Amino acid sequence: MHSANTGKAQFTQVVTSAGKNGQASRVKKSSGTFEFIRPDRFRFNYLKPFAQIIVADGQTLWVYDADLNQVTARRQASALGSTPAALIATATNLKALSADFVLTDASDRDGLQWVLATPRANDGQLQSVQLGFLAQANAGAVVKVLEILDNFGQRSVLTFENVQINAPLASSLFEFKPPKGADVIRQ
């Protein structure tokens, strides 16, 4: 498995919430761009349907909701743990991934090689994650799909397109300054 130091991609995220009391399940779809510098910096820029930016700068996890003009800032080490974001940041580094997850080969499907990642700690928000890898000649295996099942019965599927491994990225992408006038909540 190739270990990329940087990368960027476009993503689509589909979240399906389990229906309760006979109600139908709800589906939310969003999309945007994703960039990372290993081991601890990444940026999700949600463009549709609502603008939101999530930046991990190595120390702080910043979440900016443009509609609310609100920023939430948390210590990155305690905020991520075994969350989907942490998983994405270490997805191609199986040694780092196996520190927090038990990894098991899953059956190949949809032209991808799959790995099942189950959190070692059972007190987190994740029940399981499946990672779909695509082998690429010059980049090793790259994550194309993440299927996340959380402990609340919610299923999230992130699909990555136009993946560029070891892409040149400006470090300023991973610096976040709250916009003027935004409410900043530190947790």
Q: Where are the domains of the chain?
A: 6-186
Q: Look at residue 2 in the predicted model and tell me its pLDDT.
A: 42
Q: Look at residue 179 in the predicted model and tell me its pLDDT.
A: 94
Cα–Cα separations (whole angstroms), residue 75 to 44, 54, 55, 62, 81: 17, 13, 12, 9, 11
Q: Identify the architecture of domain 6-186 in CATH.
A: Clam (2.50)
Q: Look at residue 87 in the predicted model and tell me its pLDDT.
A: 62
Tell me the pLDDT tens digit for each residue of 117-142.
888 877 767 788 888 888 766 656 77
- For residue 48, give the DSSP letter: E
Distance CA 135, CA 112 (A): 8
- Type of residue found at 20: K
97: phi then psi, degrees, rounded to nearest 5: -65, -40
Q: Which mean pLDDT values do the consecutive 10-residue runs of the chain (187 residues) have?
A: 71 86 82 87 91 92 94 82 59 66 88 88 78 74 85 88 88 94 93
Q: Look at residue 46 in the predicted model and tell me its pLDDT.
A: 93
Tell me, yes or no, if the pTM score tops 0.85: no
Q: Look at residue 169 in the predicted model and tell me its pLDDT.
A: 92
Cα–Cα separations (whole angstroms), residue 151 to 83, 87, 131, 161, 175: 12, 16, 18, 27, 31
Token pair 């305690």 is found at 78
Distance CA 92, CA 131 (A): 10
